[in-house]
């Protein structure tokens, strides 16, 4: 049973290019979350998606960033016109249900995509 799969592991982009990060959740998990981690910092929430729905995008910058989780295929985090400040590790997590409530679930994280903007 494969875990959360993220690819690529490392991505180098020049300023102004687009970055596409992919995440395939664990089998049976329909909730996907994206977090950003700057060097020596914590995990900052970006966006929470279910299949074909964005549940919460309160942590995602309004410009240049978008996310989707289509009916078929992986979740995609897209960063347009990347800048040096976008360099970070981007982690995807999945769960079988939401994290809140009396029956909230813990996350399973992928190994992350390390984005470097040069």
Partner 1 sequence: GENVEQHPSTLSVQEGDSAVIKCTYSDSASNYFPWYKQELGKGPQLIIDIRSNVGEKKDQRIAVTLNKTAKHFSLHITETQPEDSAVYFCAASKGASYDKVIFGPGTSLSVIP
Which positions touch partner 1 (CB under 8 A)? 4, 6, 33, 35, 41-45, 48, 55-56, 58, 91, 93, 97-104, 106-112
Cβ-based nearer residue to partner 1, 17 or 111: 111
Q: What are the percentages of helix, strand and coil residues in the chain, rounded to 5? A: 5, 45, 50
Nearest distance from C-beta of residue 96 to partner 1, angstroms: 12
Task: Read off the tokens for 92.
Answer: 């995807």
Torsion of CA 71, 73, 74, 75, to 10 degrees: -30
Contact 108, 95 (CB under 8 A): yes
Nearest distance from C-beta of residue 32 to partner 1, angstroms: 11
Cβ-based nearer residue to partner 1, 16 or 61: 61
Nearest distance from C-beta of residue 22 to partner 1, angstroms: 15
């Amino acid at each position: 049973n494969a875990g959360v799969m993220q690819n690529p592991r490392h991505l180098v982009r020049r300023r102004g290019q687009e970055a596409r990060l992919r995440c395939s959740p664990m089998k049976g998990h329909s909730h996907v979350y994206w977090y950003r981690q700057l060097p020596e910092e914590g995990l900052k929430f970006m966006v929470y998606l279910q299949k074909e729905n964005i549940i919460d995008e309160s942590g995602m910058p309004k410009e240049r960033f978008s996310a989707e989780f289509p009916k078929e295929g992986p979740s995609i985090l897209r960063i347009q016109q990347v800048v040096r400040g976008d360099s970070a590790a981007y982690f995807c997590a999945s769960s079988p249900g939401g994290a809140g409530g009396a029956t909230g679930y813990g996350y399973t994280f992928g190994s992350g995509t390390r984005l470097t903007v040069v």
